[in-house]
Amino acid sequence: MTFLLIGAIVVPLISVPVVFLSSSLLKEKTGYVASALSLISLAALVATGASASSYLSGVYTESYSWSPIGTFGLRVDNLSLPILLTIALMVTLIAMFSVPYMRQRIGDDPRRYGLYYSLYMLYSLGMLGTVLATNLIEFYLFFEIMLVPSFFLIAEWGYGERDKISLAYFIWTHVGALVLLVGILVTGFLTGSTDMDSVVNNLATNPSLISSTVRLAVVGAMCFGLFVKIAQFGLHAWLPSAYAEAPTPISALLSSAMTGIGGYAIVRIVMTIYPSAFQTLSPIFAGWALVTMFYGSAMALVQDDVKRLLAYSSMSQMGYILFGLATFTSFGVSGSMFQYISNATAKGILFIVVGAIMLQFRGERSMSKMGGLAGKMPITATAAFIGSLALMGFPTTNGFFSEFLLFQGGFIRATSSFSDYRIIVAVLGVVATAFTAGYSLLALRKIFFGPSSADSAAVKEAPWAITVPLMVLAIVTIALGIYPTPVISRFVAFGQSIVGG
Amino acid sequence: MTYIPWLIWTLPLAGALLTPVFARIHSLLRDYAAVGFSLAAAAVATFTAFGVPRGDYEISWVPQLSLNAGVLVDPLSMFLVNIVAWISFLIMVYSLQYMKAEFGLTRYWFFMNLFIGNMLLLVLADNLLMMFFGWEGVGLCSYALIGHFYHDEPEHWVGTTGDAALGVPQAYSPSHAGMKAFVMTRIGDIALLIAIFLIFATAGTFNYSQLATQLGKTGSWASTLSGLGLLVPTALLFFGGPIGKSAQFPLQEWLPDAMAGPTSVSALIHAATMVKAGVFLVGRMGPIFFLALLQFNQVTPFFGTVAWIGAFTAFLAATQATVAREIKKVLAYSTVSQIGYMMMGLGVAGLSANFIAGYSAGLLQLMSHAIFKASLFLAAGWVIHATGTRFMDQMGGVAKAMRLTSIAMIFAGLSLMGIPPFSGFWTKDAILSATFESSQYILYAMGLGTVLLTAFYTTRMLGITFAGKASKHLEEPQKEGNHNSEAGLTMLIPYLALAVASLALGVLYPLYSGSLTNYLMGTFQSLPPILSGESVPGLSTTDIILLAASTSMAAIGLALGYVRYFRRAYEAPRQMKGLRGFLWYRWYIDAIYYRVFVGGLTWASRGLYRYIEQGIWDRLSPAVARDIIDYTSASGTLDSSVVDRGVNDVASAGSRLSNLLRRFQSGVTEQYVIVFAIGIVLLLVYMIFIIGAR
What is the C-alpha to C-alpha distance for residues A465 and A98, in angstroms, rounded to an integer? 8
What is the C-alpha to C-alpha distance for residues B487 and B506, in angstroms, rounded to an integer? 26
Q: Which of A79-88, B73-82, B389-398, B528-537 has the lowest mean pLDDT?
A: B528-537
Nearest CA to B291 out of B234, B355, B239, B230 is that of B355
Q: Do B606 and A295 lie within an 8 Å CB cutoff?
A: no
What is the C-alpha to C-alpha distance for residues A416 and B120, in angstroms, rounded to an integer? 35
Contacts of A446 in chain B (CB under 8 A): none
pLDDT score of B642 more than 50:
no
Q: State what percent of residues in chain B have pLDDT above 90.
A: 48
User: Which pLDDT score, from 0 to 100, does residue B685 have?
Assistant: 62
pLDDT score of B691 more than 50:
no
Query: Residue B401 — very low, low, confident or very high, per pLDDT cuts 50/70/90?
Result: confident
Q: Which long-range contacts (CB under 8 A, 24 or more apart) does B598-603 make?
A: B601/A298, B601/A301, B601/A438, B602/A301, B602/A302
What is the C-alpha to C-alpha distance for residues B173 and B150, in angstroms, rounded to an integer? 8
Among the partner-chain residues B62, B173, B617, the one whose CB lies closest to the CB of A236 is B617
Among the partner-chain residues B62, B176, B687, the one whose CB lies closest to the CB of A485 is B62
> Min CA distance, B614 vs chain A (Å)?
10
Nearest CA to A340 out of A239, A440, A263 is that of A263
Q: Which of A272-286, B79-93, B206-220, B464-478 has the lowest mean pLDDT?
A: B464-478
User: Which pLDDT score, from 0 to 100, does residue A21 have?
Assistant: 86
Q: Do B140 and A394 lie within an 8 Å CB cutoff?
A: yes
Which helix (H) or strand (E) is A61 found in, with range? strand A60-66
User: Which pLDDT score, from 0 to 100, does residue B672 have?
Assistant: 53
User: Which pLDDT score, from 0 to 100, does residue B475 have?
Assistant: 74
Query: Residue B533 — very low, low, confident or very high, per pLDDT cuts 50/70/90?
Result: very low
Q: Which of A67-71, A107-111, A142-146, B643-647 has the lowest mean pLDDT?
A: B643-647
Best residue in A171, A185, A389 for a mutation probing chain B (most B CBs within 10 Å): A171
Dump pLDDT digits (tens) for B124-139: 999 999 999 999 999 9
Q: State what percent of residues in chain A have pLDDT above 90.
A: 54
Among the partner-chain residues B150, B198, B690, the one whose CB lies closest to the CB of A415 is B198
pLDDT score of B659 more than 90:
no
Which of the two residues, B101 and B97, has the higher pLDDT score? Answer: B97
pLDDT score of B214 more than 70:
yes
- How confident is the model over A112-131, as a mean pLDDT? 90
What is the C-alpha to C-alpha distance for residues A321 and A402, in angstroms, rounded to an integer? 9
pLDDT score of B661 more than 60:
no
CB B609 within 8 A of CB A299: yes
Q: Do B186 and A434 lie within an 8 Å CB cutoff?
A: yes
For chain B, say whether A151 makes contact (Cβ under 8 Å): yes
Dump pLDDT digits (tens) for B286-318: 999 998 998 888 899 999 999 999 999 999 999
Dump pLDDT digits (tens) for B183-193: 999 999 999 99
Encode burial over A173-205: b for 16+ CB neighbours within 10 A, e otherwise: bbbbbbbbbbbbbbbbebbebbbbbbbbebbee
Which of the two residues, A325 and B520, has the higher pLDDT score? Answer: A325
Query: Residue B399 — very low, low, confident or very high, per pLDDT cuts 50/70/90?
Result: confident
Contacts of A492 in chain B (CB under 8 A): 64-65
CB A436 within 8 A of CB A316: yes
- Interior CA angle at B429 toward B423 and B433, to 5°? 155
> Min CA distance, A252 vs chain B (Å)?
22
- How confident is the model over B68-77, as a mean pLDDT? 91
User: Which pLDDT score, from 0 to 100, does residue A24 have?
Assistant: 80
What is the C-alpha to C-alpha distance for residues B165 and B256, in angstroms, rounded to an integer? 15
For chain B, say whether A299 makes contact (Cβ under 8 Å): yes
DSSP for residue A26: H
Which of the two residues, A91 and A60, has the higher pLDDT score? Answer: A91
DSSP for residue B586: G
Q: Tell me, what's the ipTM?
A: 0.93
Among the partner-chain residues A416, A438, A450, the one whose CB lies closest to the CB of B152 is A450
Q: Burial level of A253, CB count in 10 A (0-12/13-18/19+)? A: buried
Nearest chain A residue (CA) to B62: A485
User: Which pLDDT score, from 0 to 100, does residue B591 have?
Assistant: 87
What is the C-alpha to C-alpha distance for residues A360 and A373, in angstroms, rounded to an integer? 11
In whole angstroms, how far apart are CA B115 and each of B15, B29, B188, B338, B572? 11, 20, 19, 22, 37
Query: Residue B686 — very low, low, confident or very high, per pLDDT cuts 50/70/90?
Result: low
User: Which pLDDT score, from 0 to 100, does residue B580 have?
Assistant: 85
Region of residue A95 (left: phi > 0; alpha: psi -120 to 50; beta: else)? alpha
Radius of gyration of chain A (CA): 21
Q: Do B606 and A163 lie within an 8 Å CB cutoff?
A: no
Nearest CA to B178 out of B214, B153, B206, B141 is that of B141
CB atoms within 10 A of CB A59: 13
Best residue in B148, B149, B668 for a mutation probing chain A (most A CBs within 10 Å): B668
Best residue in B189, B621, B668 for a mutation probing chain A (most A CBs within 10 Å): B621
Query: Residue B630 — very low, low, confident or very high, per pLDDT cuts 50/70/90?
Result: low
pLDDT score of A386 more than 90:
yes
Q: Which of A5-14, B469-478, B673-682 has the highest mean pLDDT?
A: A5-14
User: Which pLDDT score, from 0 to 100, does residue A234 have?
Assistant: 86
Nearest chain A residue (CA) to B606: A302
User: Which pLDDT score, from 0 to 100, does residue B671 have?
Assistant: 54
Query: Residue B652 — very low, low, confident or very high, per pLDDT cuts 50/70/90?
Result: very low
Nearest chain A residue (CA) to B185: A434
Which helix (H) or strand (E) is B315 found in, with range? helix B299-321
Among the partner-chain residues B152, B230, B686, the one whose CB lies closest to the CB of A188 is B686
Instruction: Please list, in sequence order, all residues whose beta carbon lies within 8 angstroms of the beta carbon of residue B431, skipping any fewer than 6 positions away.
Output: B341, B342, B344, B345, B348, B358, B361, B362, B365, B447
Q: Do B672 and A167 lie within an 8 Å CB cutoff?
A: yes
> Min CA distance, B252 vs chain A (Å)?
18
Nearest CA to B278 out of B318, B306, B316, B311 is that of B306
Q: Do B63 and A427 lie within an 8 Å CB cutoff?
A: no
Dump pLDDT digits (tens) for A180-225: 999 998 998 898 888 899 999 999 998 888 888 999 999 999 999 9
Query: Residue B82 — very low, low, confident or very high, per pLDDT cuts 50/70/90?
Result: very high
The per-residue pLDDT of chain A, averaged, comes to: 89
Say if strands A60-66 and B168-169 run parallel, antiparallel, or are unpaired: unpaired
User: Which pLDDT score, from 0 to 100, does residue B207 have?
Assistant: 92
User: Which pLDDT score, from 0 to 100, does residue B213 have?
Assistant: 87
Contacts of A411 in chain B (CB under 8 A): 194, 197-198, 200-201
**Helix (H/G/I), strand (E/B), else coil: B523:** helix
CB B427 within 8 A of CB B367: yes
A window 160-219, beta carbon within 8 A of B: 163-164, 166-168, 170-172, 174-175, 177-178, 181, 185, 188-189, 192
Among the partner-chain residues A68, A240, A484, the one whose CB lies closest to the CB of B687 is A68
> How many residue pairs from chains A and B have C-beta atoms closer than 8 A?
184
What is the C-alpha to C-alpha distance for residues B369 and B375, in angstroms, rounded to an integer? 10
Domain ranges for chain A:
281-501
User: Which pLDDT score, from 0 to 100, does residue A501 have?
Assistant: 60
Q: Do A431 and B190 lie within an 8 Å CB cutoff?
A: yes
- How confident is the model over B38-55, as a mean pLDDT? 92
> Min CA distance, B549 vs chain A (Å)?
45
Contacts of B202 in chain A (CB under 8 A): 415
> Min CA distance, B613 vs chain A (Å)?
8
Nearest chain A residue (CA) to B189: A434
User: Which pLDDT score, from 0 to 100, does residue B392 have?
Assistant: 87
User: Which pLDDT score, from 0 to 100, does residue B680 have?
Assistant: 61
Among the partner-chain residues B230, B668, B678, the one whose CB lies closest to the CB of A178 is B678
Query: Residue B525 — very low, low, confident or very high, per pLDDT cuts 50/70/90?
Result: confident
What is the C-alpha to C-alpha distance for residues A270 and A264, in angstroms, rounded to an integer? 10
Contacts of A148 in chain B (CB under 8 A): 672, 676
> Which stretches of B372-505 are assigned E, i.e. beta strand?
none
User: Which pLDDT score, from 0 to 100, does residue B453 have?
Assistant: 94
pLDDT score of B597 more than 80:
yes
Dump pLDDT digits (tens) for A240-263: 989 999 999 999 999 999 999 999
Q: Do A389 and B175 lie within an 8 Å CB cutoff?
A: no
> Min CA distance, A20 vs chain B (Å)?
21
Q: Do B151 and A372 lie within an 8 Å CB cutoff?
A: yes
pLDDT score of B584 more than 60:
yes
Which of the two residues, A52 and B224, has the higher pLDDT score? Answer: B224
Q: Do B65 and A488 lie within an 8 Å CB cutoff?
A: yes
Q: Do B137 and A452 lie within an 8 Å CB cutoff?
A: no
pLDDT score of B479 more than 70:
no
Q: Do B602 and A302 lie within an 8 Å CB cutoff?
A: yes
Region of residue B388 (left: phi > 0; alpha: psi -120 to 50; beta: else)? left
Say if strands B67-73 and A60-66 run parallel, antiparallel, or are unpaired: unpaired
> Min CA distance, A40 vs chain B (Å)?
31
CB B682 within 8 A of CB A185: yes
Which of the two residues, A47 and B246, has the higher pLDDT score? Answer: B246
For chain B, say whether A241 makes contact (Cβ under 8 Å): yes
Query: Residue B667 — very low, low, confident or very high, per pLDDT cuts 50/70/90?
Result: very low
Nearest chain A residue (CA) to B661: A164
pLDDT score of A158 more than 50:
yes
pLDDT score of A402 more than 70:
yes
User: Which pLDDT score, from 0 to 100, does residue A451 have?
Assistant: 84
User: Which pLDDT score, from 0 to 100, does residue B368 have?
Assistant: 93
Nearest CA to B71 out of B44, B106, B37, B96 is that of B44
Q: Do B200 and A414 lie within an 8 Å CB cutoff?
A: no
Peptide bond into B421 cis (omega under 30): yes
> Min CA distance, B150 vs chain A (Å)?
5
Among the partner-chain residues A155, A302, A441, the one whose CB lies closest to the CB of B182 is A441
Q: Burial level of B678, CB count in 10 A (0-12/13-18/19+)? A: middle
Contacts of B694 in chain A (CB under 8 A): 68
> Min CA distance, A457 vs chain B (Å)?
14
pLDDT score of B2 more than 90:
no
Query: Residue A297 — very low, low, confident or very high, per pLDDT cuts 50/70/90?
Result: very high
> Min CA distance, B62 vs chain A (Å)?
5
Region of residue B229 (left: phi > 0; alpha: psi -120 to 50; beta: else)? left
User: Which pLDDT score, from 0 to 100, does residue B625 have?
Assistant: 59
Q: Do B136 and A395 lie within an 8 Å CB cutoff?
A: yes
pTM score: 0.91
Dump pLDDT digits (tens) for A365-381: 888 888 888 888 999 99
Q: Which of A261-275, A388-402, B382-396, B653-667 has the lowest mean pLDDT?
A: B653-667
